[in-house]
Amino acid sequence: MLRALDDLTDEQAAAPCRLPGWTRAELITHLARNADGIRGMVEAANRGESAAMYPSAEARSAGIAEGRGVRASALRSDLRGAHDRLVEAWEALADGGWEIRGRASADRTMREFVWVRRKEVEIHTVDLDLGLEPSDWPVAFVGPALDEVISTLPDRALVNRPRVDIEYRVVCTDHDRAWRIELHGDHIGVRDDDGAAADGEAIGWGCDIVAWLYGRDPRGGGGIVASGDLAVLRLPTWFPYA
């Protein structure tokens, strides 16, 4: 991400990114404040304390809004400094502090927040719309992202999603993985695929499947090959990733 910002102009910073309603400046500022929030939890954990990432939702929104109109050079400096301070806090964290929990959208250990930060950076690098795409994500990110975005699918179900009786298969060709999504009324099941016939199938590279299910596929599933019941392509709509 930092390399992607090397040539950022003031005009590009003020322009919209791929997140609806956000400018690039706001997104970069959000990433800096996200690093600050995690660092605050890590520093608290090093004192044996549990802390929250943000004082409130309002404080989080205010931090993002502060990026409006900020020049590109200041945005680069802000993000790099916030990132460096977070890394320093991680490096200083005592062994016992890694299992202390912090409070954000969900309570997690400091160890788990390392993944949260990486995911935030990888996804928003694509959201910046500066030439980097999901195909640029490293395999070391795509593998765990696949596990997370599919295993947490039941937790993301919209209340008003269609109640259907159907089974889908999602196949990741380059990771040699496949999952079965079972939708039976209110029941939502996710498990490793057993090879049995499915009503619909979605096949793609790992990066395309992650982008599709994260809602970060500008092609709207264009990297996915679907067959059978094509409503399988509506999974990101029924199970949106916030």
pTM of the predicted model as reported, rounded to 2 decimal places: 0.90
Write down the pLDDT at residue 226: 94
Report d(CA 232, CA 85) in Å as an integer.
43
**In this predicted model, what pLDDT tens digit does every residue of 56-98 receive, in sequence order?**
888 888 988 899 999 999 999 999 999 999 999 999 999 999 9
User: Which position has the token pair 């040539």?
Assistant: 7
Write down the pLDDT at residue 56: 87
- To the nearest 10°, the Cα dihedral for 122, 3, 22, 210? -20
Report d(CA 35, CA 53) in Å as an integer.
9
Write down the pLDDT at residue 217: 75
**In this predicted model, what pLDDT tens digit does every residue of 166-194 receive, in sequence order?**
999 999 999 999 999 999 999 999 999 99
Write down the pLDDT at residue 219: 59
Q: Which residues pair with 200 in a beta bridge?
A: 168, 228
Angle (nearest 5°) at CA 149 between 157 and 120 = 110
Q: Is the dihedral of CA 223, 156, 174, 232 positive or negative?
A: negative
Can you list the residues of the chain whose pLDDT is less than 70? Answer: 218-222
Residues 6+ positions from 169 with CB-CB distance below 8 Å: 178, 179, 180, 181, 193, 198, 200, 201, 202
Report d(CA 171, CA 222) in Å as an integer.
15
